[in-house]
A and B are shown apart, each in its own frame.
Chain A
Amino acid sequence: MSLRLQAQSLACERDDRWLFRGLDLDIRAGEIVRVEGPNGSGKTTLLKILSGQLADYEGELYWDERPMRQARDSFLSNLLYLGHAPGVKAALTPLENLTWYQAMAGQPQDEASRYAALEDVGLAGFEDLPAGQLSAGQQRRVALARLVLTPRPLWVLDEPFTAIDRDGVAALEQRLVGHARRGGCVLVTTHHELTPCAELRRIRLGGGGLDVGN
């Protein structure tokens, strides 16, 4: 088994407008793929298609060289998706939020690792406050703690830098690079300029046409 996500002549239409057409992708272990484009160019839609949430597209998706429909279970147990909405319950504490995610990931319940994950994203001391009382950036950090808590090889992150402060951005960027170097794979949309590195690859969407470059 290997980490490989492929798309063949992917196309998606919204409101009589092609967001993208004839998009071929081959994403392998050790890569950070940044999806770029202006607002409304279909970045989130592409990420949702690639994370198996939208079925309304043309073209074929392959995971581990098998069609996505057959490989869906294997794909989902290797995927960590962070969407636009952080998926953090305001009435629950960060610790309780992570408890649920840990259980969903099929991991044994382990409180020490939840504390460690929260400390890792700079939320030490906020474990037992309702998440609704935290700032937007801190709520985003609760979601980001899942990157530490539930290790998965494929990360699909939609605007993960939103509301995060400068130090947090640098730390997260390092985390992405570290993940790719350890053989993981990151698919990310962001308006924040990532520091160029050997692992980084770009996909540009927008204006109906697109170019895939390195």
Chain B
Amino acid sequence: MSGTEGLLSKEAPVTFHGEPGGGLAVAFWATLKRDLVLLLRRRSEVMNPLVFFAIVITLFPIGISPDPQLLAAIAPGLLWVAALLAALLSLDSLFRADYDDGSLEQLLLTPQPLAVLALAKVAVHWLLTGLPLALMAPLLGVMLALPAGSYGVLAVSLALGSASLSLIGAIGAALTVGLCRGGVLLSLLVLPLYIPVLIFGAGAVQAAIFGDGVMAHLAILGALLAIALILAPLAIAASLRISING
């Protein structure tokens, strides 16, 4: 305990800090780790989008037709739309708990750049929603008789695309966090921005089925992700400030 004595001593005068020093990496990892631990302790919230994804994909062959040819034709679109909606489902809670218990205002009051800390929260969302969806998709693809050779592309396109979806969606989640029922508004705000990701994501899988080059589609998905990575954290930070102001 001797190391803490100076800190706790009632006599030590308070110190005035100049401009904030480093510590950004520490703050980033601490936020990442805290949110991972929090979500892993509330597993039902993590499982929700995955179960939704599995159920939707299971119902389609039953509802449409078990004909493999028909299913294979619509499989890329179905898988992508279902994964997109599953990711959207979990977005509303991204900042909600933090807003309710007051840790969001603490996050805004740290001397660290808010955009970077928000990026840590989005990274956790992707790790526990987007990535598992991408890993699950090939399994569910079997049910839709997805032709061999497109499974890898499906997983890669979803992994890349869902990262963009998390980033874009977080802007909407940040804008609606101050509202009691932001769910519908969030979907309206975010879905138009999801369309390019959906087109090129499903397009990549389609191209793999027809044996065309998939690299062009994946490259565009990568480019969308790069743009989102640069711009979305700034937009999320600005949106959070607006929400907390209201």
Contacts and interface: CB of A to CB of B under 8 A. Distances in A.
B184 interface: no
B101 A90 contact: yes
Contacts of A102: 30
A172 interface: no
B15 A89 contact: no
A88 B101 contact: yes
Interface string B97-118: 1001111011111111000000
A206 interface: no
A103 B26 CA distance: 6
Contacts of B41: 91
Nearest to B3: A112
Interface string B195-216: 0000000000000000000000
Given A53-B244, A112-B1, A184 B8 contact: no
Interface stretch (A5-13, A92-100, A193-201): A92-100
Interface residues of A, number: 51
B93 interface: no
B17 A52 contact: no
Contact of B34 (A54, A92, A152): A92
Given A52-B109, A76-B110, A116-B4, A104 B102 contact: no
B55 interface: no
B22, B97, B100, B101 interface centre (most CB from chain A within 10 Å): B101
Tell me which of A54, A91, A148 has the highest count of chain B C-beta atoms within 10 A of its own C-beta.
A91
B38 interface: yes
Given A83-B102, A104-B110, A109 B26 contact: yes
B111 A103 contact: no
A91 B8 contact: no
Contact of B102 (A52, A85, A103): A85
Contact of B105 (A77, A83, A152, A179): A83
Contacts of B1: 112, 116
Interface in B1-60: 1, 3-4, 7-8, 10-23, 26-27, 29-31, 34, 37-38, 41-42
Contact of A113 (B7, B21, B241): B7
Contacts of A52: 109
Contact of A54 (B7, B27, B111, B245): B245
Contacts, number: 137
B30 A100 contact: yes
Contact of A1 (B16, B37, B97, B111): B16
Contact of A87 (B17, B20, B102, B241): B102
Given A92-B34, A182-B14, 14 more contacts: A2-B16, A53-B108, A55-B241, A56-B245, A77-B111, A91-B38, A112-B1, A113-B3, A116-B8, A148-B8, A152-B17, A153-B15, A179-B14, A182-B11
Interface of A: 1-3, 51-56, 73-74, 76-79, 81, 83-92, 96, 99-107, 109-110, 112-113, 116, 120, 148, 151-153, 178-179, 182-184
The 3 closest A-B pairs by CB, nearest first: A85-B102, A106-B23, A103-B30
